[in-house]
Structure 1
Amino acid sequence: MKKNKLGHSELYVSELGFGCMSLGNNHQINERMIHEAIDHGINFFDTADLYDKGMNEKSLGLALREKRKDVIIATKGGNEWGEGIDGWRWNPSKEYLKGAVKQSLIRLGTDYIDLYQLHGGTIEDPVDETIEAFEDLVQEGVIRNYGISSIRPNVIKAYLEKSNITSIMMQYSLLDRRPEEWFDVIGNHHVSVIARGPVAKGILSNDYERKITSKGYLDYTEIELRETVDEILHYISENGHPLQQVALRYVMDNPIVATAIPGASRLDQLMENIDVANIPSLPEHLTAKLRKVTKQSKYSNHR
C-alpha cells in the first residue's frame, strides 16, 4: 500500500488508515481485524483515550503488542473523565495533558506514541500552555509528533502559526468539502490532513439507501442528498468501482491528505475499504464532475 509522508515528520503512513473508534468490545474480533489490516499494508491506527473510556486504547495495544515496530499509533487527549465528573469535560491544560498521555501509554502498552493529538479545542483555550505540554512531551521522548483534531478555522490557524504540529485531523468527504478552503494554508505550513468521515456516515457507501434519512447531512436536505448521490452514481457508472471506493479515492487523491481513516466494525467492511488501495487515482475529468455536483460549502463559525 502506498505510504505518504506525514507533514514535516519522519513518519510515512499508509494512505488508508484504520479508525479505531468503530471497534467493538470483543477483543478477539478487534485483534483479527487489526492484524488483517496490517497484513494488507495498513500501518496507521488512530484511537483516543475517550473512546470507551480507555478500553479502545487497551484493545489496540494488546493487538499490537507483537507488532509495535511495524505500526504508527495515533491517539488523542484533552477530554477528562473520572470521579466527580459527570460524563467528561474538556481540559487542555498542560498539567492534565501530561498526565493523560502517561495513562494512554499504559493502556497502549508502549513507551512512546507516534502522534499525539489534541482532541478538539476552542480559541479560548490556553493555546500557548497546551503547546508547551506537547513540546515538553516531545523533548521527553514520550511522543514523537503532535497534531490537533479540529474543524474550527480559528483554532487551526492558531496552531499553524504558533506550534510545530505535524497534522490536522478533519472531517472530509465529497459531502463535506469545507476543509478544502484551508488546504493551501495548511500545505504552506508543511502540515498534513488526516481525513476522518470520508464516507459521510455511510451515505457514500453501498448502503446509502438506508443511511440517507429525513435529517439530511450537514447542509444537504434529504432530497438534495438523494439527488446528489444519484448524480455521483451516474458519473461513476462507467468507472466500474463501487460508490464507497470512489468516495475514499476522492479524499485520498488530494495531496494534502496523508491518510484517510474510515471506520470498520466488520471484516467485510475492512476488506472493502482496503480494496480502494488497489484502484488507480480518479481521472481528472471524473474528479471535476464530482466536484461540480457536490457543494463547496465553507465553515461559517469559529473563523
Structure 2
Amino acid sequence: MKVRALGNQGLVVSELGLGCMGMSEFYGATDETESIATIHRALELGINFLDTADMYGPYTNEQLVGKAIRDRRDKVVLATKFGIVRSEDRGFRGVNGSPEYVRSSCEASLERLGVEVIDLYYLHRVDPKVPIEETVGAMAELVQAGKVRFIGLSEAAPQTLRRAQRVHPISALQSEYSLWSRDVEDEILPTLRELGIGFVPYSPLGRGFLSGSITSPDDFAPDDYRRQSPRFQGENFTKNLQLVEKVRELATQKGVQPSQLALAWILAQGEDLVPIPGTKRVAYLEENVAATEIVLAPEELASIEAIAPRGAASGQRYADMSGVNR
C-alpha cells in the first residue's frame, strides 16, 4: 500500500482509508465481530487510516474502533469528528461549533476511543451560528495541548476554508466525491490545492450504488438511511441505475468490478486525495484494496468522463442540502 500526504504539516496516510460509519449505523444490520475483523484485515493489508465520528451510533462507533485498535494503536492514523449533535434516541439536534463544545467533544472522543491523542480531528459540519475562527481557534488549542495532531473540516465552502486556514493550518477537508458527486471540482478542489490542504473523499462509491450490487430500493433494510436519500428514490433511482450500468460495462471491459473502477478513478484524480470507502465486511474491503493496483490509461479515463461527466447523477446528495458546503 502506497502512502499519500494530507496537507503540508506532516500527516501521511495510506492511499486508501477505511470509513467505519456503517459498522454501527445507517446501512442496515451491524455485526461487531465482523466489523472488528474488517478493521484488523485493513491494517494487515496496509490501510492505516481509519475514519469515525462521535455521531455514528451515536457514540458507539468510536467505542468499536477503539476496541479494535487497542492493541495496535501504533499502526493507526485515527480520524474522528465532532459538531453534529444527536440525542440518545438517535435523533438529530443540529450543529454545534462553539469552543466549549469543541473541548468537551474532544475529551469524550478520547475516552471512547481509549487513546491519548487523535491524529486528525474534523469539524463534521460548519456551525453557521459560530464564526469559523472561533471553532478552529479552539481546535488549535487542542493541538497545542497535545490532544490532537492535525485538524480538518468537513463539507466546508471555499471562503470558510480560507478563513479557517488563517487561524491554523488545515490538513484535510472531507467532503463527498465520486463519479456521481463531482461538484467539488468546480471551486473546492482548486481552493484546496491553492491552500495546500489535502482532500478526503467520503462515499467514493456513491453510498454503495457504484458497486453495482444495488438493483432495487427493496435491496435496503427498513432502517437503511438510503431509503430517504433522493438519489435512491423513484425516477432518480432508475436514471442512476442506468449510469451504474455504463460503469459496469467499462469495468467488464477492464476485467475489474464496478466498485474498483470507481475507486481507481478517484485515486487517479491527484496524489492529494485519499478516499475512505466504508465497509463492514472483509470481502468488500479486499475488493476495494485491489483497486489500488489498477492503472487507468488516458483513453480509459476519457471513456469514464464520457459516461459520468459532472452532474450525471439524478437527484440531490441529501434531502436537505443546507448543512453542506457552507
Question: What TM-score results when the alignment is normalised by the length of structure 2?
Answer: 0.83
- 1:17 matched to 2:22? The reply is no
Distance in 1 (alpha carbons) for counterparts of 2:269 and 2:23: 27
Letter of the aligned partner of 2:295 in structure 1? S
Moved more, 201-210 or 74-83: 74-83
Distance in 2 (alpha carbons) for counterparts of 1:86 and 1:245: 34
- 1:237 matched to 2:242? The reply is no
Distance in 2 (alpha carbons) for counterparts of 1:297 and 1:152: 19
Q: 1:86 to 1:247 in 2, by over 3 A?
A: closer
Letter of the aligned partner of 1:195 in structure 2? P
Q: Which residue of 2 aligns with 1:288?
A: 302
Conserved? CA contact 2:137–2:167, under 8 Å: no
Residue 287 of structure 1 and its aligned partner are, at CA, apart by: 1.0
Q: Which runs of 5+ in 1 are unaligned?
A: none
Matches within 5 A, 1:41-56: 41-56=46-61
Secondary structure of 2:201's aligned partner: strand
Q: Which residue of 1 aligns with 2:190?
A: 184
Letter of the aligned partner of 1:293 in structure 2? I
Moved more, 105-114 or 199-208: 199-208
- 1:193 matched to 2:207? The reply is no
Residue 26 of structure 1 and its aligned partner are, at CA, apart by: 4.0
Q: Which residue of 2 aligns with 1:65?
A: 70
Residue 107 of structure 1 and its aligned partner are, at CA, apart by: 0.7
Conserved? CA contact 1:123–1:155, under 8 Å: no
Residue 133 of structure 1 and its aligned partner are, at CA, apart by: 0.5
Residue 275 of structure 1 and its aligned partner are, at CA, apart by: 1.8
Q: Which residue of 2 aligns with 1:247?
A: 262
Residue 131 of structure 1 and its aligned partner are, at CA, apart by: 1.3
Residue 168 of structure 1 and its aligned partner are, at CA, apart by: 0.2
Moved more, 281-290 or 220-229: 220-229
Q: 1:90 to 1:39 in 2, by over 3 A?
A: same
Distance in 2 (alpha carbons) for counterparts of 1:68 and 1:110: 8
CA RMSD of aligned residues (A): 2.8
- 1:228 matched to 2:243? The reply is yes
Q: 1:87 to 1:280 in 2, by over 3 A?
A: closer
Residue 285 of structure 1 and its aligned partner are, at CA, apart by: 1.2
1:174-227 deviation digits (Å, cap 9, x = unpaired): 011111122122111111110100110222113042369995469x93443233
Distance in 2 (alpha carbons) for counterparts of 1:144 and 1:293: 40
Letter of the aligned partner of 2:206 in structure 1? A
Distance in 1 (alpha carbons) for counterparts of 2:57 and 2:238: 35
Secondary structure of 1:221's aligned partner: helix
Query: Of residues 193, 200, 210 in structure 2, which corresponds to 1:204?
Result: 210
Query: Of residues 84, 87, 97 in structure 2, which corresponds to 1:92?
Result: 97
Distance in 1 (alpha carbons) for counterparts of 2:135 and 2:230: 36
Conserved? CA contact 1:13–1:258, under 8 Å: no
Give the % identical residues.
30
Q: Which residue of 1 aligns with 2:3?
A: 3
Moved more, 97-106 or 72-81: 72-81
Moved more, 268-277 or 185-194: 268-277
Letter of the aligned partner of 1:252 in structure 2? L
Query: Of residues 258, 279, 291 in structure 1, which corresponds to 2:273?
Result: 258
Q: Which residue of 2 aligns with 1:147?
A: 152
Secondary structure of 1:148's aligned partner: strand
Moved more, 204-213 or 164-173: 204-213
Q: Which runs of 5+ in 2 are unaligned?
A: 25-29, 220-226
Residue 87 of structure 1 and its aligned partner are, at CA, apart by: 4.3
Distance in 2 (alpha carbons) for counterparts of 1:86 and 1:276: 36
